[in-house]
Amino acid sequence: MTLDRIWLPYCQMQTAPPPRVASRTEGVRIYLDDGRHLIDGTASWWTACHGYNHPHIRWAIIRQLECMPHVMLGGLVHEQVITLTERLTRLLPGELNRVFYSESGSVSVEIAMKMALQYWINQGVSGRTRFLSFRDAYHGDTFAAMSVCDPEDGMHRLFRGALADQVIVDLPRTADQVRTLERTLDRHAGQLAAVIAEPLVQAAAGMKFHPPEVLAQVAEAARRHDLLLILDEIATGFCRTGTLFACEQAGVTPDIVTLSKALTGGSMPLAATVATEDVYRAFLSDSPQHALMHGPTYCGNPLGCAAANASLDLFESEPRLAQVANIESQLKNELADCAKLPGVADVRVKGAIGVVELQGRPKVSRLREQFVEEGVWVRPFGNVVYLMPALVIESEDLSALTHAVCRVVRRAA
């Protein structure tokens, strides 16, 4: 097999070491072709929330594969998408009851932004073509999603001249930042279609946390200025932060929410953009031009929907929130020693997310190699070493991860 012909994501191919070859997965373990296994501390980019190869999800996919692997959602529906839509709208807060499906988180954000723009266009309101987002944000790698990511320190800063010009401010953690947000909204409200934010955790831009009160302030400011609120729950949804959806902790219901990652338990690509009835009504008209002209080829595909329904079965039947509470407690206890190490700027935990922030910029590739040597799969980025394991992880395996983090950070310090 020619490994050097595979163009890997987020990777400088000239200097990166060859990737490991995974041969199988089970529970919280990744088995390599050289006979070793690694305890996964990232749940495959935060997707495998129930662990790998969960039999309930696997059999749901097999059953669906045998009867209908795919059918277009244009003019047709199927049992799995009907069931999933009813379940999602029952679980989400408020009147989030109109579900549009796609295959990836970035695309679900693109769809949310497109919905927000057309919401105003369909009502005859012109000029609302921009979005307000926040520094340290990450919303995806496609072009509209890139435009609402952090333009200075984010991974997409090279594209600044090619991206739509959005309004980007600090999250209002202080009184001065609240005043800045209000002044910015006063100045730009007539140009804005929506405010977009990650609730409680800005994930891929540095695992930065904010309290529910900050999210509530953002939501209230958007309401006062007659703006739609889009919440990106792709990383935070499905129990990761200690509630089914992170926005619940702030008592906030957005106008549009995006979901993906843990939606299928890490087994199949699927995403959802869910809007309120008020947003949906703006698209109802005798004019075909008022319809949402969007339709990914695998929109609402039966295999993905079957996996998502099986994943929701597990959230309903197994004690995921209690497991998250136990993980949070253990992460706080076992990562605490890292805070005493030289070179450590901060240690923070939220739900099933544990973060050790380092001072300066460590050599990430070396840290990653050391974690493999420790028998764990941990993928630091920037100056952050983080854990977001499967929600079903046993305490001994979680200890293996936290102790590996402490040892590697100690050596780095």
Annotated catalytic sites, by residue? 10, 138, 232, 261
CB 76 within 8 Å of CB 299: no
CB 8 within 8 Å of CB 16: yes
CB 405 within 8 Å of CB 368: no
Distance CA(300)–CA(176), nearest Å, equals: 44
Strand order in the sheet with 37-40: 22-26, 29-32, 37-40, 376-377
Q: Which residue has the tokens 């005859």?
A: 124
CB 116 within 8 Å of CB 294: no
Cβ within 8 Å of residue 191, ≥6 positions away: 127, 128, 129, 130, 167
> What are the distances in angstroms from CA 13 to CA 6, 92, 119, 363?
9, 41, 42, 16
CB 361 within 8 Å of CB 382: yes
DSSP state of 183: H
Distance CA(38)–CA(334), nearest Å, equals: 20
Question: Which residue, 139, 45, 141, 108, is CA-closest to 272?
Answer: 108
3-class SS of residue 345: strand
Distance CA(173)–CA(348), nearest Å, equals: 16
Strand order in the sheet with 256-259: 96-102, 271-276, 256-259, 228-232, 192-197, 130-134, 167-169
